[in-house]
Structure 1
């Protein structure tokens, strides 16, 4: 069997009964987390831009814009909801590879759009589709062995995760599914300059790929064909864009081991590269009972890839002017954690960026590449981090964090997801009642028992 056919068969053949229970349960948390991130991000300027774009584009009112409640065509609703879910960089991510990927916020919005468009889609169908799509998305992402920091190409594979979830929920046959994957190649894109400049496209590209995956599946459904070898053909993806790849990381135990279970939960709304430092600082703060005012200096050590993403350029990262830059600024988020004992959505508002107490700690923060960490963990952007804190009373405290809270070996529970949902709802552009949030959680937790998702979409609208 050729490799592309093997991938297509995996997408077609996965069923609720064949997907491991752990993968199904993790898919529930991925869905809940995507809702939480979108609700929390709904008041962010990026979310406002996304809704305005949807309003300008208009079209058939078939799918809900989460939180605000407008109705848009499925593809456009996917764009708006996925962009909003990434607006805070709070959505979960896969970190166990050279290039991480935010698979869930790409793949969940088109899945929900299709489930709203077609009420015959059951909760079990949705869960198996989401688990399968995220599994494939992660496998494609980890197969790329050249670092995007060096190539400038970022997560170009994302469109195929959204394509996979869409073909499954549209119930396409093998031929149309293969065509959809070929058509998706025409949509494959992703660039790293957005991180360098802190551009809004960090979030918008999430929506663009979610829309493109669904459009690819719909294009195949109506009769368009695409290249049959989008991955391994003479001019396929790997030859044309990512010649440094490991096919075993794509195909090993495909259909048996669902790697969506290795997605990392994000307890703090900042780049995952900053989480080991945040976790370490918060642990030291709690253990030794000091406050931000007690701190003389902070020193952090990490690998060169993480340093290039969340420490460079230094003039920008020590003086973030907007929330996008701040979310990718290790000196900023570690100073927030030190001063407030938390890192919350509100800390990235304009007044938070100018907090003089946080600015004082930032000025006293030193971050360097740790040679030993770089030697042993130098290939991944998400790096173990050392945290050293000096206090006014002369005390010095140290910790190293390799697997912060949310890491697959230090995992979050569904209850943690509910706490995140409730915290995010406090920042929503429209209010959600406690009862409404509990109902969302109960609906997602029992998705495998739901004959339709129709009742869910009204719950995802605030202000009622």
Structure 2
């Protein structure tokens, strides 16, 4: 079957070209932005559950190799490092998003690519190439199955497996045929259920961890000669059919292939919570800047959003850190009282703060049908804030800070890095690491 008739072959052939084709400076820069953001999300997650618990539980399985496990600073086998690092990078909910597909590509893709690159002693350029390819394949596969895929599946756990397999296979020297086999094998090992993070538990960060691990397994097997089913993406009982309401919109997914690159259209998070809450937070910030009210002035706040805002994030009684990161009510209260939704918003003290708890019942959420219809390419919110003095303020937030229409600048991305990493590494080491990520030719250690 030709690549024109088979999306897996088309994506595999494209991905394999990144071994040798010229790397445009703008794409190299976007890949560095993704790397800076990944480390910003990773390092505060290394000392937290579940990655910290995983590092202890799996210590005997570290294996031999040069891949660095950032949870404890020791080196080991690439799959081991990728598993732990990807989980850590998703823990504090600051990792990147491809808005149009709903995939968080960074956590699994960078973890897998960096582990292989470190183990093989490769240069920064090889890593950047792998990130461009991995983001491209994963985001396009996610486009083919969304938005229905997200009703039951966590896209980062499922489609992240393809991203990791692509990046890993490229760094292992895969040709187009081997790349196709890596993707085919990745398809049958992808997983990650929505229900796993709609309540308590630590499963959500395990999803990108498993995706990175399974993706590297698929890549290594393909390079060794293991084959997969070439119609596994679009076949009648293939990946798309099993995880969405069709066999996939592959025309949409492949539109602009080799012209419009996913890594150049990534959202970098400006808040430390679920991205479906961002429009509400940005809109509330705009209202406060315009009208100058404080938390004590608020009678009620209503958020009209798209379906995921209400279905995933309407949690008026959130009590745990995991629940709070997916609670419009907690995050709105934190923005009002703490001035931002950063790491401090999810400490035990903040979760128990009586002033935040008293504000949460004032916040309600509903689905706005027009916003639901525009999802996922548009992530917007309607806000209605009733104040104690009788004023009623309304605002339409058309997008999110950090989205392609309103991106974080390089300086803002560096500021995010400093904020999240300095408490872990200290100021001097943070600056050295940041400079190396922006300018260095050697791999980060």
TM-score band w.r.t. shorter chain: over 0.9
Residue in 2 that maps onto 1:261: 264
Work out which of the residue numbers 198, 201, 207 in structure 2 matches 1:196. 198
Q: 1:342 to 1:234 in 2, by over 3 A?
A: closer
Q: Distance in 2 between matches of 1:301 and 1:128?
A: 40
For the 8 Å contact 2:117–2:126, the answer to whether it is kept is no
1:422 to 418, 421, 428: 418
Residue among 360, 379, 393 paired with 2:389: 393
Separation in structure 2 between the aligned mates of residue 182 and residue 96 of structure 1, nearest angstrom: 23
- Residues 146-165 of structure 1: pairs in structure 2 closer than 5 A: 146-152=147-153, 154=155, 156-165=158-167
Match of 1:118 in 2: 120
**Cα distance between partner residues in 1 of 2:308 and 2:241:** 25
Q: For residues 18-417 of structure 1, what are the structure 2 equivalents within 5 Å?
A: 18-66=22-70, 68-97=72-101, 100-119=102-121, 121-152=122-153, 154=155, 156-233=158-235, 235-242=237-244, 243-311=246-314, 317-374=315-372, 377=374, 379-380=375-376, 383-417=379-413
Render the CA deviation track for 1:188-242: whole Å, top value 9, x for unaligned: 2222111322432111011001011111111223333333333234643234444
Between the aligned partners of 1:236 and 1:152, the Cα distance in structure 2 is: 15
Distance 1:380 1:257 in 2: 18
- Deviation larger for 364-373 or 344-353: 364-373
Q: Over the residues paired in the alignment, what is the CA RMSD in angstroms?
A: 2.2
| Cα distance in 2 for residues equivalent to 1:234 and 1:248 | 17
Cα offset, 1:15, TM superposition: 5.3
How much does 1:102 deviate? 0.5
CA distance 1:380–1:118, change in 2 (3 Å): same
Structure 1 residue 266, shift from structure 2 partner:
0.4
Cα distance, 1:38–1:194 mapped onto 2, change above 3 Å = same
Distance (whole Å) between structure 2 residues aligned to residue 305 and residue 88 of structure 1 = 20
Q: In structure 2, the residue corresponding to 1:93 is in which secondary structure?
A: coil
The question of 1:437 aligning with 2:430 is answered: yes
How many angstroms does 1:372 deviate by? 4.5
In structure 1, runs of 5+ residues without a counterpart are: 312-316, 458-464
| 1:280, distance to aligned residue in structure 2 (A) | 1.4
SS of residue paired to 2:300: strand
Q: Aligned partners of 2:197 and 2:378: how far apart in 1? A: 15
Moved more, 17-26 or 341-350: 17-26
After superposition, the C-alpha distances for 1:16-71 in whole angstroms (9 at most, x for unaligned) are 75444333221111111111101122232223223223324332152211253022
Structure 2 Cα separation of the partners of residues 71 and 382 of structure 1: 42
Assess if the C-alpha contact under 8 Å between 1:273 and 1:381 holds in 2.
no
Please state how far the C-alpha of 1:351 moved relative to its aligned partner: 1.7
Q: Which runs of 5+ in 2 are unaligned?
A: none
CA drift at 1:293: 2.2
TM-score by length of 1: 0.88
Deviations, residues 388-416 of structure 1 (Å, cap 9, x unaligned) = 22333333332221112101110012222
Instruction: Judge conservation of contact 1:34–1:91 (CA < 8 Å) in 2.
Output: yes
- Which range moves more in the overlay, 190-199 or 31-40? 190-199
